[in-house]
Amino acid sequence: MTSVTYTVPAIHCGHCTHTIETEVGELLGVRSVKADEASKKVTITFDAPADEAKIKALLAEINYPAEGLISL
Ligand SMILES: [Cu+2]
């Protein structure tokens, strides 16, 4: 299992965090998603078949592009 934290500058309200948690949470292999409105950070725990490329592609697709990887 792997955890990543991204900065997602497009987060600006509770609706954003809910959308991200719901959409990313549906990706196969994703175990948990926590999006924080105040810090604009999203922490995702996942394992195969999910991977970082798929998660970043999904975030971009739903208009919340990940701009920085904080930690692995
Ligand atoms: Cu919002």
What does the pLDDT look like over 12-39, one tens digit per residue? Answer: 999 999 999 999 999 999 999 999 999 9
Q: How many CB atoms lie within 10 A of CB 45?
A: 15
From CA 55, how far away is CA 44, in angstroms rounded?
A: 9
Percent of the chain surpassing pLDDT 70: 97
What is the distance in A from the centroid of ligand 1 to the CA of 50? 25
What is the distance in A from the centroid of ligand 1 to the CA of 64? 10
User: Which residues make up the environment of ion ligand 1, defined by Cβ < 5 Å?
Assistant: 12-13, 15-16
pLDDT of residue 2: 94
What is the distance in A from the centroid of ligand 1 to the CA of 57? 19
pLDDT at 72 over 60: no
